[in-house]
Amino acid sequence: SQQGEEDPQALSIQEGENATMNCSYKTSINNLQWYRQNSGRGLVHLILIRSNEREKHSGRLRVTLDTSKKSSSLLITASRAADTASYFCATDATGGGNKLTFGTGTQLKVEL
């Protein structure tokens, strides 16, 4: 079963704009992770945020986590055409032992 739901399902922006994707989940978590998947490839880990953290940065990526609302957001600033991919959030439920449950994903298209 899919634990997380990403919103929007698809997003199309111009190069240089910011992209924001949201994720909602259902159970208590140890951590929440964001992954990127280019067409025909495996998933690439972007950021892991633990349940006691509220915000994390990595380069042009900013992730927030609100455990009271069971939601997270991923912001990509100054997007590039190379950011075109599907983005998934995944939750490691409390007591889950690093067993990830993935959301449905957001397809991001960055146009020149």
Partner 1 sequence: EAGVAQSPRYKIIEKRQSVAFWCNPISGHATLYWYQQILGQGPKLLIQFQNNGVVDDSQLPKDRFSAERLKGVDSTLKIQPAKLEDSAVYLCASSPGPSNQPQHFGDGTRLSIL
Nearest to partner 1 of 52, 112 (CB atom): 52
Spell 2-17 as b/e; 16+ CB within 10 A means b.
ebbbbeeeebebeeee
Token digits of residue 81? 């055409």
Nearest to partner 1 of 39, 112 (CB atom): 39
What residue ranges bind partner 1 (CB under 8 A)?
2, 4, 30-31, 33, 35, 40-45, 48, 50, 88, 90, 92, 97-105
Find the shortest distance in angstroms from Cβ 43 to partner 1: 4
Q: Give the C-alpha separation, 88 to 16, whole Å.
A: 22
Nearest to partner 1 of 76, 90 (CB atom): 90
Neighbours of 80 (CB within 10 A): 12
Find the shortest distance in angstroms from Cβ 17 to partner 1: 25
